Structure formats: structure tokens, C-alpha cells
Amino acid sequence: MIDRDLASEAEATARKLASIAAAGEDGRVNRRLIRGLAEEGLLPRLFPRRAGGSREGEVSAVDLCVVREALGRESTLAENAVAIQTLGAYPIVLGGTPEQAGRYAGPVARGEAVAAFALTEPEAGTDAAALALRADRDGNGYRLTGTKAFISNAPDADVYTLFARTTPDAGAKGITAFVVNGDAKGLSGTSLQLLSAHPIGRLELDGVVVSADQVLGEVDHGFRLAMRTLDLFRPSVGGSVLGMARAALDAAIAHASNRKAFGRPIKEFQAVSHQLAEMATKLEAARALVYAAAEAYDRGDQDIARRSAMAKLFATETAQQVIDVAIQVHGAVALERGHLLEHLYREVRAPRIYEGTSEIQREIIARDLFRR
Ligand SMILES: Cc1cc2nc3c(=O)[nH]c(=O)nc-3n(C[C@H](O)[C@H](O)[C@H](O)COP(=O)(O)OP(=O)(O)OC[C@H]3O[C@@H](n4cnc5c(N)ncnc54)[C@H](O)[C@@H]3O)c2cc1C
């Protein structure tokens, strides 16, 4: 069920932290913002008590959507900060031992540590199961060697959930999840300049030593943990872009009511008002898909991979259209640097690529159709 108090709390928190969010340095993690999100209580509400949070129950896809939608509407910077903290730490919460959850996810929930999720490699993006970063046996532990690319919050993060190959030539069945400390010897990284609302970078691992208690879940079962995490997150990517699209639609409605052309407000031209009617309808449909998928995840339904793919696909494609139409309705003014819509137009692009491109979401849906 959608918790309206949680949505209001998230909106109020984003407004309160607006100046801290704006003061962040380009390409660097805004630690003050993350601490603020924790001190205001929002971040801990997304983590169970056993993982340093304040939730009575386990993680909830619906609550994650509620928070991301509310933040997406108010502040994409705060939204991204919450998204990456949870994406980076949830594999520990979902797949780690109680000791690992408390030790590694706890500081993330409290805003004391910055998290990241490291799956993608230069030669393994959509085909994530082709990842090659090696985990070689070293006594009781492992040595990690290889490269990760396009990792949100890298190279500043303190805690990486990192997926590495433990069995060569075994595809998805030879991948293990690890927790890696940001200050580990042999770990280095560089920032990438990308069209994105958050810092992102590349990581080089040169024989990074990890102990057996830094393995998350079972050896060679890490890919499943990565996919479980993405099934949980994909509806919430939809939630975040719904928030952004709603902000764009509201701006377009206000503008169409005030802006005059040919002696009347432009909302009186059907060419304008019907475009907005169409976008509002698609947005409602996207919202229904997003929350249905999140509820299915929380119930533990079997068909979550398909539903979560549908939610992400439809919501991200729709949000891009809504923001584009909102710009069209505004005319040139929306393209001025610093305009809300100019900002949203840049922000809405990456979600159609990360956590699985739109094409791979269609592939997941198609595979499910033909399996049944
Ligand atoms: C802003 C941003 C943040 C990110 N953050 C993270 C992060 O925190 N952690 C992380 O691990 N990764 C992250 N990524 C990486 C992201 O997950 C990958 O970019 C994504 O999975 C796509 O991989 P790729 O870019 O290598 O594209 P490719 O895999 O090279 O794909 C290129 C094109 O081919 C298409 N394609 C490939 N295979 C198929 C197929 N089977 N069927 C149809 N079409 C196909 C794709 O859809 C795409 O259009 C981030 C990316 C961005 C842009």
C-alpha cells in the first residue's frame, strides 16, 4: 500500500536539504547530503533494523518507489543519493549474513558510509554474465583483479558490492558477490564525465585481497543476487522518473494556463491541451504498472522479473516523452540553462540505459511470454 506519510516526509526532507544538495561538487559524492538524508530519518526508513535502519520489517519495493517518486519530483540530486545508497547496500541486506548486514549496510543506512553497486565492466554491460573481473583463491579468501566501469558513486564510495568471476567459463553460474572496502589496497579509480545527476566512475582492482567473510551469499551464486537486487530496483527506477515527469507535467499545465498567443492562453489550443491529456494518461498507466510490480515483489510473486521489466520499460520511455512534450509546450524558455525542464531533459535520459536498457527489458518480457 502506498504510504502517503512517507511520500510527504520524503518531499519535506528534499525541500529542507535543497541548499545542501545544490552545494555539492560536480562529479563528487555529496556526503553532507547523504548524512542529511540519514539524519532526517529518511534513509534509515528504507533499511531494516538488523541492517542499521529503522524499519520494523524487511526492505519494501513499494516504499522504495514511494520515496524515489517523491524525491524525483522535488530533487533529482537527493533522489539519486538515496537510490545509489540503497542499490549499493541492498545486496548486503538481501544476501549477506546478519553480521555483514550490521557491519557493512549499517553505516550506509546511517549515512556514515557511501555505497556503490559494481556489476558493469568495459566488455560486459547488457551481457553482465560475461563479466571477467577475476576472483582468484588466496588462502581462505580471494584476490580481485580487473576493471569495473560506469559505477555510480565510484571512485568515492566507502563500500562496494562487487561481482566477480570465481569460476571461469561458467557464465552466470560462476559469479560471486563480494563486499569490498573503498580504501582496500590495490583499489583505485577515476571519475567519468557523464550526462547524469550523480558521480560515476571506473574502478581498477589490482590484486585486492578480500577475506572469506566478505563473500555475500554462496560462492558462484552472485549473479542471482545481482538479478534479485535489480528486480527490486527496476520498479523504483520507474518511480523516480514518474516523479520527474509529474514535475514536468505540472510545469507544462501552469505554463499553458498563463502563456498567451493569438490573444488567448495556449491551453485553449487543442493541439496543446490534448498533448497534455495524452501524457497525463500515459503517466497514470505507468504509475499503475510501477506500483503493481512493486507490490508483486513485496508479496514474493513468481513473475516479478517480467513485471519489474515492464514497469521500468514503460515508465522510463513514458517519462522521456512527457518531459519532451512539456518542453514543446513551453517553447524556447524551457531550453534555457537552469530551467527545470532543461534539467529534467538531461536527467531523464540515463534511466533508459542503466539497470538494464529498454531493449533488454523487452527481451526479459519476451522470454517470459514464450516460456509460459
Ligand atoms: C548514469 C549511469 C549510471 C550507471 N550506474 C551503474 C552502477 O552503479 N553499477 C553498474 O554496475 N552499472 C552502472 N551503469 C551501467 C549500466 O548498467 C550499463 O550501461 C547498461 O547495462 C548497458 O550496458 P552498456 O552501456 O555496456 O551497453 P551495451 O551492453 O554495449 O549495449 C549497447 C546497445 O546494444 C543493445 N543490446 C545489447 N544486448 C542486447 C540484446 N540481447 N537485445 C537487444 N539489444 C541489446 C543495448 O540495449 C544497447 O542499446 C550505469 C550507467 C549509466 C548510464
Distance 364 CA to ligand 1 centre (A): 14
Question: What is residue 211's predicted lDDT score, i.e. its pLDDT?
Answer: 97
Question: Which amino acids bring their CB within 6 angstroms of ligand 1?
Answer: 117-120, 125-126, 150-152, 194, 196, 200, 350, 353-357, 359-360, 363
pLDDT reported for residue 203: 98
| Last-in-domain residue among 202, 219, 236 | 219
Q: How many angstroms does the Cα of residue 126 sit away from the middle of ligand 1? A: 5
* pLDDT above 90: residue 82: yes
- pLDDT score, position 231: 95
- Sign of the alpha-carbon dihedral angle for 258, 261, 267, 272: negative
What's the total number of domains in the chain?
3
Please report the pLDDT score of residue 2 as a whole number. Answer: 85
Catalytic site residue 355?
Answer: yes
Give the model's pLDDT for residue 213. 97
Helix axes 340-347, 76-95, angle to 10 degrees: 30
Question: How far is residue 102's CA from residue 293's CA, in Å, rounded to a whole number?
Answer: 28
Active-site residue, from 25, 355, 359, 363: 355
Q: What is the pLDDT of residue 215?
A: 98
Of the candidates 11, 153, 1, 5, the residue with the CA atom closest to the CA atom of residue 69: 11
Tell me the DSSP string of 146-170.
Answer: EEEEEEETTTT-SEEEEEEESSTT-
- pLDDT confidence of 233, banded at 50, 70, 90? very high
Confidence of residue 24 (pLDDT cuts 50, 70, 90): very high
Residue nearest to atom 43 of ligand 1 (CA): 359
The CATH number of the domain holding residue 13 is 1.10.540.10
Which of 242, 279, 199 has its CA nearest to residue 74?
242
> Residue 372 — very low, low, confident or very high, per pLDDT cuts 50/70/90?
confident
Interatomic CA distance for residues 202 and 118, integer angstroms: 10
Question: What local confidence, expressed as pLDDT, does residue 328 receive?
Answer: 98
Q: Is the pLDDT of residue 175 over 90?
A: yes
Inter-residue contact 349 to 297 (CB < 8 Å): no
pLDDT in tens, 256-280: 999 999 999 999 999 999 999 999 9
Domain CATH code at residue 162: 2.40.110.10
* Residue 236 and residue 356 share a domain: yes
Where do the H-state alpha helices sit in the chain?
Answer: 4-16, 18-22, 31-39, 61-74, 76-95, 98-100, 106-109, 222-258, 270-299, 304-330, 340-347, 358-371
Domain final position from 70, 87, 113: 113
Domain that holds residue 354: 223-371
Domain shared by 243 and 294, yes or no: yes
- Residue 228 and residue 319 in one domain: yes
Same domain, yes or no, for 149 and 255? no
* Per-residue pLDDT at 283: 98
96 and 133 in a common domain: no
What pLDDT is stored for residue 331 in this prediction? 98
The pTM for the full model equals: 0.97
End-to-end CA distance of the chain: give it in Å, rounded. Answer: 29
Q: In whole angstroms, give the CA distance from residue 167 to residue 357.
A: 27
Cα 268 to ligand 1 centre (Å): 42
Least confident of 32-41, 145-154, 188-197, 213-222: 188-197
Percent of the chain at pLDDT > 70 equals: 100
Instruction: Dump pLDDT digits (tens) for 85-97.
Output: 999 999 999 999 9
Instruction: Give the domain CATH number at 262.
Output: 1.20.140.10
For cell 550526462, the residue is: 195
Do both 169 and 195 map to the same domain?
yes
353 and 273 in one domain? Answer: yes
Using the atom order of ligand 1, give the atom closest to the CA of residue 84.
8
> What are 267's three cell numbers?
491551453
Tell me, yes or no, whether 201 and 262 share the same domain: no
Among 68, 92, 113, give the residue marking a domain's end: 113
Q: What is the pLDDT of residues 277-330, one digit of tens each?
A: 999 999 999 999 999 999 999 999 999 999 999 999 999 999 999 999 999 999
Closest ligand 1 atom to the C-alpha of 153?
8
Residues 123 and 251 in one domain: no
* Domain co-membership, 301 together with 355: yes
Is 1 a residue whose pLDDT tops 90?
A: no
pLDDT at 146: 98
Band (pLDDT 50/70/90 cuts) for residue 202 is very high
Residue range 98-114: average pLDDT?
Answer: 98
Look at residue 26 and tell me whether its pLDDT is greater than 90: no
Q: How confident is the model at residue 332 (pLDDT cuts 50, 70, 90)?
A: very high
Q: Looking at the structure, do residues 366 and 253 belong to the same domain, yes or no?
A: yes
Shared-domain flag, residues 91 and 177: no
For the stretch 350-359, pLDDT in tens is 999 999 999 9
Predicted confidence band of residue 141 (pLDDT cuts 50, 70, 90): very high
Whether the predicted pLDDT of 219 surpasses 90: yes
